[in-house]
Amino acid sequence: MPSGKPTGTYAAHLPSTHKRTAPAPDPTRRLGAGWGAWNEMTAWPARMRFVQHTHPRPRGSYDDREVLIRGGVGYAVRAFLAQVVGQGCGFSASFEITEAVKTAIKALDERAWEPAIRQDHTLRPGAAVTELTRLIDLREGWPAASRLIIRREPLHPGAQQTIDDLDGCRFTALLTDQPDDDLAVLEQRHRARARAEDRIRTLKDLGIGNLPWGDSDGNAVWLQLALLALNLQVWTQAPTLDGELARAEPNACATSSSTPPRAWPAAPAASPSDSTPTGPGPPGPPP
């Protein structure tokens, strides 16, 4: 996908549940055995069909548009990426920092790194990207055009170090088949998927973190209500709020946006003529 070219975004819509008389089928059952075994080769073709079923293509002509499948490290599975490529789509998936990857990173010359960029295309101070494709063997089962991109960023003060951190820096990797020469753009495009993680976290806050019913019908309605709440929040923030409030979580957005500003004008005092004088009232019952 050329740099800056927009990619189609497809939304899945839940079917209506108010006319159902039988319990809704569990979607994972359609995928056969192995749904829990993330790396099981035989499960991925069924998962790809499930993605196609739940994410229909938009109306109108789309033949001239490339579709890029972005995902976390769970998407970096040979069988699944083979299905993606077979459907004519591109991919960008987070990749595990293995010992082989760490060894290749340590062997890099500092000149191999180039500055990383933010989503607004400004430079991210201290962050850098590089390509490890020639140093890591990707021939075994990975799509032919696979490329391995690495991002390096210094640990923030107070950040807890993990086993994947090296020399005070945090490293992340992505596997992609996109041919762009600009590594910073490839890495920036992949990191833009963090919006999906933000929405999932927000959805959990709005109700899907604890499904209240023991059957799928009730939980499907609950999920639709949570999605409706998310849509209301997003479309309230986008046109009416700016700055931090435009990206705030539900609790912060609700408390901050509903608090009147300090310069809010005080309500005028009521004049005597604004109220109706009270009389003695109706006589009470006899003693």
**CA–CA distance, 12 with 32 (Å, rounded to integer):** 21
235 and 162 assigned to the same domain: no
Phi-psi region of 167 (alpha: psi -120 to 50; beta: other; left: phi over 0): left
Instruction: State the total domains in the chain.
Output: 2
Domain membership flag for residue 10: no
Tell me the residue length of the chain: 287
145 and 231 assigned to the same domain: no
Can you give the pTM of this predicted structure? Answer: 0.61
Please report, as a single letter, which amino acid is at residue 252.
A
Which residue range is the domain that position 168 belongs to?
A: 41-57+65-192
Domain membership flag for residue 168: yes
Give per-10-residue mean pLDDT for the chain (287 aa): 40 35 41 44 65 60 72 88 88 93 93 93 94 90 94 85 80 94 94 81 86 88 91 83 75 62 57 57 63
- The string of DSSP codes covering 212-264 is --SSHHHHHHHHHHHHHHHHHHHHHHHHH--GGGGG--HHHHHHHHTSPPTTP
Q: For 12-56, what is each residue's pLDDT tens digit?
A: 333 333 333 334 444 444 434 444 444 555 566 666 676 666 655
147 and 225 assigned to the same domain: no
Q: Which residue has the tokens 């790809």?
A: 48
205 and 181 assigned to the same domain: no
CA distances 195 to 88, 92, 109, 189, Å, are 24, 15, 33, 11
Q: What is the pLDDT of residue 42?
A: 58
What is the token pair recorded at 88?
């004519």
119 and 244 assigned to the same domain: no
163 and 203 assigned to the same domain: no
Domain membership flag for residue 276: no
69 and 187 assigned to the same domain: yes
Q: What is the pLDDT of residue 128?
A: 96
